[in-house]
Amino acid sequence: MDPECSRLLPALCAVLADPRQPVVDDTCLEKLLDWFKTVTEAESSLLMLQENPCLVELLSHVLKLQDVSSRVLSFSLRLAGIFAAQENCFQYLQQGELLPGLFGEAGPLSRAAWTVPTVRSGWIQGLCSLAQHPSALHFLADHGAIDTIFSLQGDSSLFVASAASQLLVHILALSMCSRAKGHSGPVGGDWPACAQKIVGHIEESLHSATTPQVTQALNVLTTTFGRCHSPWTEALWTRLNPLVACLLERDPIPAAHSLVDLLLSVVRAPVFSSSDCGLWETVARTLSCLSPTQAGPLAVGILKLQHCPQELRAQAFGVLLQPLDCVLKAMAQAPGLPGLLDGAAGDSMMEDTLLSSKSACVGLLCRTLAHLEELQPLPQRPSPWPQAPLLGAAVTILRFCDGSAVPASSMGNHLCGTLAGCVRVQRAALDFLGMLSQGTSPQELVTQVFAVLLEYLKSPDSSPTVLKKAFQAMLRWLLSSAKTAGCSDLSRHTVLVLRELFPVLQKRLCSPCWEVRDSALEFLTHLSRNWGGQADFRHALLGSEVPKLAWQLLQDPEGYVRASAVTAVGQLSSRGLHASPTSPEHPEAQQGLLSEFLHILSEDSEGFPRRAVMQVFTEWLRDGHADVAHDTEQFVATVLQVMSQDLDWEVRAQGLELALVFLAQILGQPDPHCPYAVALPKAAPPGLLTEVLQTLCRVRLFEFVFRALFDCDRPVAQKSCDLLLFLRDKTAPCSHPQEAGGSPDSASMEATLQRWRAGEQGQPLGDLEPEAVLAILGSIDLEGLQGMLAKSSDHMERSPQSLLKDMLATVHVLEENEADCY
Amino acid sequence: MPEIRVTPLGAGQDVGRSCILVSIAGKNVMLDCGMHMGFNDDRRFPDFSYITQNGRLTDFLDCVIISHFHLDHCGALPYFSEMVGYDGPIYMTHPTQAICPILLEDYRKIAVDKKGEANFFTSQMIKDCMKKVVAVHLHQTVQVDDELEIKAYYAGHVLGAAMFQIKVGSESVVYTGDYNMTPDRHLGAAWIDKCRPNLLITESTYATTIRDSKRCRERDFLKKVHETVERGGKVLIPVFALGRAQELCILLETFWERMNLKVPIYFSTGLTEKANHYYKLFITWTNQKIRKTFVQRNMFEFKHIKAFDRAFADNPGPMVVFATPGMLHAGQSLQIFRKWAGNEKNMVIMPGYCVQGTVGHKILSGQRKLEMEGRQVLEVKMQVEYMSFSAHADAKGIMQLVGQAEPESVLLVHGEAKKMEFLKQKIEQEFRVNCYMPANGETVTLPTSPSIPVGISLGLLKQEMAQAGLLPEAKKPRLLHGTLIMKDSNLRLVSSEQALKELGLAEHQLRFTCRVHLHDTRKEQETAMRVHSHLKSILKDHCVQHLPDGSVTVESILIQAAAHSEDPGTKVLLVSWTYQDEELGSYLTSLLKKGLPQAPS
């Protein structure tokens, strides 16, 4: 432990032990425990207690106090647990009878403070830390702790109940592991006493007629099989499987959700990959006994498994397909559409659920769509994957929702009425539809997909969130259709879609909702990034008003939209698709865009658009955009000048990124794996370097970078430091500090930098000469600075010493300021 | 049994990150989704694993409601929606929707600045999260789905703060968020109608305090600023970009105007323009005075407050600077503080709460020697002042709101346990309602008795009117007999005849029968006559008839006399009646059991 902390500890312990002192806030006590945990992980707890007797004194004092605050009591319990995790320290605390006092029946358990959930939680967490060695097991058994933990499983606080279950699992595992050293697993009834007690309790709970008790048992088992993968878990399952299976005979099945979690936890456990133990049979029965809504998560979990009986997979997939099968059958008049579960008789339970109430129907469909969406991209998804009927079902659902479906059955009519305008289902179906773009689908269905997506994008009833998802799905389908076309040009069909799409996009770019305008711009950006080079796309885009509208949105009242417009217009411009409002075809419009962006960079009151401009400029510079390439120096100089005083540090950081790209272009690329690498393989030749440095001086890059080095926002300073290190290493052979260091130019520069470092950034650097820059580069301790900047900006305030001092200092003023908030 | 369940994941017996789960008539709603600025790891967010246990978040939760833009109420929202995976609707008022991303962005930048802050949301995530927001107007009933509806009420506290009523059928819960029952310089007082919810969930920050007038604090603030600039000192006021900053700006602007002061006031973030834009845009959310004077002079257009340039900090002479962030934990406010701290003429005024681990917290706890990087020590000689401008209802205000809404039960959140205990007793005593104060993770379950609407047929009402002959009185309950039928999920009370007709059922008569033994040696006919005359003398309002077949009837009650098979001195009276005359039938039986009066000899 740090000596300074050791010095402060007695005073802090005295404060904590004094009931008259108001208790500091919870976060301090939590952070204090974090620190103790870190310290005890690195050094001996026993030694720490011996060197800092105040800690044991605090614990014994807390025990004696009757009116100790619940926060301090809870803290003490957790602290004692952290110390007692090491066996020798546990023995040491045992000698002083401290542990029985804290965790035994005579401790907080019997006090009024036990009614406070924090204290019960502290008791559990303390025991959880403590239970690390065999002595702890004896301790728990001797002091009746296990029974208390059993009762805490049903605690009124979710946090306490959950922690109690976790603790039981922890103890069970410890008990089994302590014994397992000489045994491969329990044989017959030969379980260690502690484990036997816990398993017996679980068995009893599984027999119970009350659902909460069954739930508790199932939750403990779920955690056990999730965490413990030793052979004994197999024996445990063999013992409990019949009891779990018995739950399926009850009506209704108790704690169905927890039962599903348990079964998934067991089937995922590696220990069962080789043996069965009746597991698959129980799972199959569960699948058939549970309601469609309850069975969904189990089915998807099974289908995600790498190894599992084929029949069970088919059964599970059937569970997921059934709701969509019902949907397809409800639209029975669609000719030639393949069904999802051909030959299978309609499941009446499924139909009942879909018909019973709107919320049941919506819930089931949303869950099913989400499960199938989750499954679709996985390599272990069922094969053959019924892409076409699934697509048909998704389209049908979307049509039910927008009222364009013409169902032939009464079920269809009912679904139409239930799903009309249901945003939840629309969102889920659009997500699923987007995901289905990854597969190969018949052209006829693809046509339907585009038709329904266009309808959604056109519909005045579509909500902003639905529109966003419709745009996303449309993008995925457009990109995938180009991929499947297999040639460089877009398919005829895609071109037709684009022709219809751009008028819709135009309309959406004028939407009164900023969310919609923004989603439309994002869509445009992605599309032009991918298809900017496609002649058909270019033709369709330039034939529409879209580029002009995107330009107009640079003046949007909403900052988010302006930023998206900057990105979109910047992207269009990179692809030569840009159009100014006045003259779409004329090259001078390009110049207009650059000044428009510079105007945004200097004038926009919000950071997002300014950041977006910097990103576009950096990309332009990197890609050699025509406007930039014709006078790169002038471009860089102007941009740096405009943004160097920006109030948003992310804009300044982006400015450094631009400076780095510029440097890389004139000096050679930095290591791609480590752009700011200190050690570079090769330095530039001296003649070139002088020229380069002169260029950098001309664009006033050093003024900006050195200023950034002492920026009050650390990421900026760090980035600047990395950039200077890159530059210094590149210029190393030219640098002669002895000669250059004495020049009057460098002396005044050094003085200015000193002032900047002290926070006085008013004075400019003035005109610089390359020699002076080289001298400065050599004289600044950039490595030292880099080391310092690599730390968190508040690392001093977050240190343990600072925490202890704060806690001590707060004591005297707490009452004065009282607890306050925003 | 229908019930309302409430589980705070945050703000249960603490003032940290507000996040309360409410389950009402099968609908699950999350109230606020706040962040604790005192932690730098996942503990800053509420523990959502307790909801994810219930399956997919979007399926489990019907909606999220955000009461106002403070980070302890909305700071975890992008994390929840973009990282934990909630994809459903989020409701908040229009000003909150506009201002929320500014503060989230403000905080994100600080979090990114501090390295090692893993698992934090990005700028894009904030935007994507805000796109899921459905903005609501005050007093507008918003239908979340077919059954769940919400309605916002004015809460004061900060611009756009709202209380929300959540209603499913006849059950409702009101969540206050943070509110203020007294108007301040730019906002009005909270107001709610007598909505009589099943449960009122109220904040209780100042549960035991009667707060002094804010005017005193304002005067004190102005005096301190004035004194400092008068003696040539500089005043630093660390603030968060929006909220308190504007309130203090109005104060200083007005004071400067009145005193004709020339000392410059700067606002450092460049957000003044944006903030002022929002205050102008949402002028209807401010108080009456600001709205009234808006036409002549916009309170949010400041003549004396200028944008700050970093170089200004080194200018000689007095000045006042508002700088972000508010807890002196990074960036510009900390940089200016470092520059000015060494001069005893200067002053820093902390207008809000600071968490541990910040320089703001250190100086407020009286520390004057701050360790800086590189073993440097910063000696704080400047004056340090703390002034709480937080606008919460005090004990009186909370009681006033409870009285206004008339809830069936009250639940306290966002306060300290000890103070809550006091207020709980007070509420229970004064309003005779149950008051709860669950800790985080504890669930309060309230049984509710849902009212089921039943229609009454006009025919039945007319029949009842004709029989009782009285007009119905609004406040006087009346007993009404009829048949309850359910058709197309609607319940109706109709006459039995109508019910039979509507349901297409044949009528079956159910008669109660009873035998009464009488000691009478006379013939059956004579006994019947005696019964007739006895009943006629007692039941003057009823029609008592002696039929030719010898039986006696009273309404539907039929009485026949027969001889006893074994005892000729005893006659058996067979009494039967229909269900409708159950009362009269029972009465007659008991009457006959007492025997007949002696016949005149």
**Chain A residues in contact with B54 (beta carbon < 8 A):** 257
Total domain count for chain A? 4
**Would the pLDDT of B591 be above 70?**
yes
Query: Which residue type occupies A760?
Result: E
pLDDT of A580: 55
pLDDT of A678: 41
pLDDT of B2: 82
**Chain B residues in contact with A159 (beta carbon < 8 A):** 47, 50, 440-441
CA A670 to chain B, closest CA, distance in angstroms equals 24
Measured in whole angstroms, how far is the alpha carbon of residue A6 from the centre of its chain? 38
pLDDT of A182: 53
pLDDT of A740: 44
Q: What is the pLDDT of residues B216-241, one digit of tens each?
A: 888 899 999 999 999 999 999 998 87
Assess B309–A contact: CB distance below 8 Å, yes or no.
Answer: yes
pLDDT of B431: 95
- When comparing pLDDT for B113 and A675, which is higher? B113
Percent of chain A with pLDDT strictly greater than 90: 58
**Would the pLDDT of A795 be above 90?**
no
Q: What is the pLDDT of residues A278-309, one digit of tens each?
A: 889 999 999 999 998 899 999 999 999 988 89
Is A160 within 8 Å of B441 when comparing Cβ atoms?
yes
B386 to chain A: nearest residue by CA?
A817
Q: Is residue A376 part of a domain?
A: yes
Assess B366–A contact: CB distance below 8 Å, yes or no.
Answer: yes
- When comparing pLDDT for A582 and A557, which is higher? A557
CA angle A110, A111, A112 (to 5 degrees): 130
Assess B271–A contact: CB distance below 8 Å, yes or no.
Answer: yes
Please tell me whether residues A545 and A663 are part of one structural domain. Answer: no
Q: How many CB pairs under 8 A join A and B?
A: 197
Q: For B331-342, what is the mean pLDDT?
A: 90
Rounded Cα distance between A417 and A358, Å, is 9
A627, A661, A693 — which closes off a domain?
A627
Q: Is residue A152 part of a domain?
A: no
**Chain A residues in contact with B106 (beta carbon < 8 A):** none
CB atoms near residue A250 (< 10 Å)? 12
- Bridge partners, residue A613, by sequence: none
Rounded Cα distance between B55 and B37, Å, is 29
Q: Which tokens is A418 given?
A: 């239930």
- Bridge partners, residue B483, by sequence: B494
Please tell me whether residues A269 and A297 are part of one structural domain. Answer: no
CB under 8 Å to A730, separation ≥6 — which residues? A667, A668, A680, A683, A684, A689
Assess B567–A contact: CB distance below 8 Å, yes or no.
Answer: no
- Please name which of B561, B557, B556, B506 lies closest in space to residue B528, comparing C-alpha atoms: B561
CA B501 to chain A, closest CA, distance in angstroms equals 29
- Alpha helices of A735-799 — where are they, by DSSP H? 737-741, 744-757, 770-779, 782-789
- Alpha helices of B479-578 — where are they, by DSSP H? 496-503, 524-538
Is A159 within 8 Å of B123 when comparing Cβ atoms?
no
Is B274 within 8 Å of A790 when comparing Cβ atoms?
no
Is A518 within 8 Å of B353 when comparing Cβ atoms?
no
Please tell me whether residues A404 and A525 are part of one structural domain. Answer: no
Please tell me whether residues A698 and A770 are part of one structural domain. Answer: yes
Domain that holds residue A732: 631-791
- When comparing pLDDT for A278 and B60, which is higher? B60
3-state secondary structure of A239: helix
CB A58 within 8 Å of CB A12: no
Catalytic residue annotation of B: 203
Of A271-275, A457-461, A807-811, B71-75, the range with the lowest mean pLDDT is: A271-275
Phi, psi (rounded to 5 degrees) for A495: -60, -40
B388 vs A464, A645, A820: nearest CB:
A820
Please tell me whether residues A474 and A602 are part of one structural domain. Answer: yes
Please tell me whether residues A646 and A595 are part of one structural domain. Answer: no
Assess B449–A contact: CB distance below 8 Å, yes or no.
Answer: no
**Chain A residues in contact with B211 (beta carbon < 8 A):** none
pLDDT of A509: 97
- B 391-410 residues inside an 8 A Cβ radius of A: 392
Q: How confident is the model at residue B181 (pLDDT cuts 50, 70, 90)?
A: very high
Is A713 within 8 Å of B442 when comparing Cβ atoms?
no
A592, A627, A662 — which closes off a domain?
A627
Is B54 within 8 Å of A257 when comparing Cβ atoms?
yes
B135 to chain A: nearest residue by CA?
A513
Q: Is residue A408 part of a domain?
A: yes
Rounded Cα distance between A171 and A143, Å, is 14
Q: Is residue A176 part of a domain?
A: no
- Bridge partners, residue B148, by sequence: B168
Q: What is the pLDDT of residues A178-211, one digit of tens each?
A: 775 555 555 555 788 899 999 999 999 999 999 9
Please tell me whether residues A601 and A673 are part of one structural domain. Answer: no
CB A391 within 8 Å of CB A449: yes
Q: What is the pLDDT of residues B525-534, one digit of tens each?
A: 888 999 999 9
* SS3 of A503-527: HHHHHHHCCCCHHHHHHHHHHHHHH
Assess B359–A contact: CB distance below 8 Å, yes or no.
Answer: yes
**Chain A residues in contact with B330 (beta carbon < 8 A):** 713-714, 793-794
**Would the pLDDT of A506 be above 90?**
yes
A800 to chain B: nearest residue by CA?
B357
Is A817 within 8 Å of B367 when comparing Cβ atoms?
no
CB atoms near residue B510 (< 10 Å)? 7
Assess B368–A contact: CB distance below 8 Å, yes or no.
Answer: no
**Chain B residues in contact with A791 (beta carbon < 8 A):** 115
- Bridge partners, residue B350, by sequence: B386
Best to test chain A binding among B59, B69, B129, B132 (most A CBs inside 10 Å): B59
- B 32-71 residues inside an 8 A Cβ radius of A: 36, 38-40, 43, 47, 50, 54-56, 58-59, 70-71
B273 vs A605, A607, A650: nearest CB:
A605
**Chain A residues in contact with B339 (beta carbon < 8 A):** 759
Please tell me whether residues A307 and A400 are part of one structural domain. Answer: yes
Is B271 within 8 Å of A605 when comparing Cβ atoms?
yes
Domain of A553, CATH number, reads: 1.25.10.10
pLDDT of A776: 83
A795 to chain B: nearest residue by CA?
B114
Q: What is the pLDDT of residues A448-503, one digit of tens each?
A: 999 999 999 999 999 999 999 999 999 999 999 877 655 556 778 888 899 999 99
- B 459-488 residues inside an 8 A Cβ radius of A: none
Phi, psi (rounded to 5 degrees) for A317: -65, -35
Task: Give Dmax (Cα) for chain B.
Answer: 131
H/E run at residue B91:
strand B90-93
β-pair type (B434-436, B409-413) = parallel
Rounded Cα distance between B447 and A255, Å, is 22
* SS3 of A330-398: HCCCCCCCCCCCCCCCCCHHHHHHHHHCHHHHHHHHHHHHHHHHHHCCCCCCCCCCCHHHHHHHHHHHH
Rounded Cα distance between B318 and A151, Å, is 66
Query: How far is CA A371 from each of CA A157, A173, A230, A378, A429, rounded to the nearest angstrom?
Result: 31, 33, 31, 12, 11
B373 vs A25, A788, A820: nearest CB:
A788
Q: Give all strands of the β-sheet with B234-238 in edge-to-edge order.
A: B305-307, B265-267, B319-323, B234-238, B347-350, B383-386
**Chain B residues in contact with A715 (beta carbon < 8 A):** 112-113
CB B531 within 8 Å of CB B595: no
Q: What is the pLDDT of residues B163-179, one digit of tens each?
A: 999 999 889 999 999 99
Please tell me whether residues A639 and A691 are part of one structural domain. Answer: yes
CB atoms near residue B447 (< 10 Å)? 9
**Would the pLDDT of B601 be above 50?**
no
**Would the pLDDT of B273 be above 70?**
no
Q: Is residue A347 part of a domain?
A: yes
Q: Is residue A744 part of a domain?
A: yes
B369 to chain A: nearest residue by CA?
A805
A157 vs B274, B362, B442: nearest CB:
B442
A417, A432, A457 — which closes off a domain?
A417
Q: Is residue A5 part of a domain?
A: no
Please tell me whether residues A490 and A544 are part of one structural domain. Answer: yes
Q: How confident is the model at residue A577 (pLDDT cuts 50, 70, 90)?
A: confident
Please tell me whether residues A519 and A499 are part of one structural domain. Answer: yes
pLDDT of A677: 44
Q: Is residue A338 part of a domain?
A: yes
Q: How confident is the model at residue A317 (pLDDT cuts 50, 70, 90)?
A: very high
CA A712 to chain B, closest CA, distance in angstroms equals 5
CA B331 to chain A, closest CA, distance in angstroms equals 5
pLDDT of A338: 59
**Would the pLDDT of B363 be above 60?**
yes
Rounded Cα distance between A97 and A109, Å, is 16
pTM for this prediction: 0.87
Percent of chain A with pLDDT strictly greater than 70: 87
Task: Give Dmax (Cα) for chain A.
Answer: 94
A713 to chain B: nearest residue by CA?
B331
**Chain A residues in contact with B46 (beta carbon < 8 A):** none
Rounded Cα distance between A467 and B352, Å, is 41
A28 vs B112, B277, B356: nearest CB:
B356
Q: How confident is the model at residue A674 (pLDDT cuts 50, 70, 90)?
A: very low
CB A108 within 8 Å of CB A123: yes
Rounded Cα distance between B540 and B533, Å, is 11
CB atoms near residue A338 (< 10 Å)? 11
Please tell me whether residues A453 and A526 are part of one structural domain. Answer: yes
pLDDT of A429: 97
Q: Which tokens is A355 given?
A: 């018909």
* SS3 of A17-58: HCCCCCCCCHHHHHHHHHHHHHHHHHCCHHHHHHHCHHHHHH
pLDDT of A608: 92
Rounded Cα distance between B34 and A797, Å, is 24
Query: How far is CA A777 from each of CA A1, A706, A732, B570, rounded to the nearest angstrom?
Result: 39, 10, 9, 133
pLDDT of A714: 87
A822 vs B338, B390, B443: nearest CB:
B390
B367 vs A28, A798, A809: nearest CB:
A809
CB B237 within 8 Å of CB B249: no
Q: How confident is the model at residue B279 (pLDDT cuts 50, 70, 90)?
A: confident
Is B113 within 8 Å of A715 when comparing Cβ atoms?
yes
